[in-house]
Amino acid sequence: MSTAKFQRVVLGKLVDLIEEVKRIGRGVENEGLERQVPTLRNNKELDELDELEGKLQNAEQRALLVHLLAKVGGKNIKDATNKIMDRLFTNRLMATFNMKGGGHKKKRAFRETEVYAVVKEAVIRSDQSATESAVDRAMADHLKQAPGRPPNLHRREGVCDAV
């Protein structure tokens, strides 16, 4: 086979692969990727969190949320973790959690939630160098600083349920 013919064949295969990836991507988008990640932000935040926890029992909905959150990304593990958690929670809700639960303020254990596993998976998927312990540290720091952090005013108010 001549070099020119080989190059045409390889380029043809690459075009076919690109088209297939686009087709698959359109199919996934039609299943809901255009929706926004839910942000738990009103007076019923804990009820909404419990409802989200229930929805995350469904493998498809869990995978969809992980995919959407992984797209948030960040410049490093800490930045990605902070952006993902800010996308999901208000500071007021994060202030009710710590990683292990308990303490003198009787906080809930974030590590025992399904959302914890989803956030960890999304950060690891978005940053290939991320380790579970690094993500845990970043989540713990972000939760610890939530009570003193000013509210994020740049976030969108409208919420569409992605899951």
Question: Residues 83, 115: one domain?
Answer: yes
Q: At what angle do helices 114-126 and 77-88 cross, to 10 degrees?
A: 140
Q: How many domains does the chain have?
A: 2
Range of the domain at 98: 36-148
Model pLDDT, residue 161: 43
Residues 123 and 73 in one domain: yes
Does residue 135 sit in the same domain as residue 90? yes
pLDDT score at 9: 81
Residue 117 is predicted with a pLDDT of 92
**Shared domain check, 45 and 30:** no
Same-domain pairing of 56 and 90 = yes
Question: Is the per-residue pLDDT at 120 higher than 90?
Answer: yes
pLDDT band at 25 (very low <50, low <70, confident <90, very high): low
- Across 123-153, b (16+ Cβ under 10 Å) vs e yields bbbbbeebeeebbbebbbebbeebeeeeeee
Same domain, 114 and 73: yes
Q: pLDDT for 79-91, tens place per residue?
A: 999 999 988 888 8
Six-digit token string for 97: 């959690």
For residue 81, tell me if it sits in a domain.
yes
If asked whether residues 85 and 6 sit together in one domain, one would say no
pLDDT band at 30 (very low <50, low <70, confident <90, very high): very low
**Is residue 92 domain-resident?**
yes
Q: Tell whether 58 and 27 lie within a shared domain.
A: no
157 within domain boundaries: no
Kindly state whether residues 13 and 87 are assigned to the same domain.
Answer: no
Looking at the predicted structure, is the pLDDT value of residue 36 above 60?
Answer: no
| In the chain, % of residues over pLDDT 90 | 18
Where are the alpha helices (H) located in 71-104, listed in sequence order?
77-88, 91-94
Do both 17 and 66 map to the same domain? no
**pLDDT at 156 exceeding the cut of 50:** no
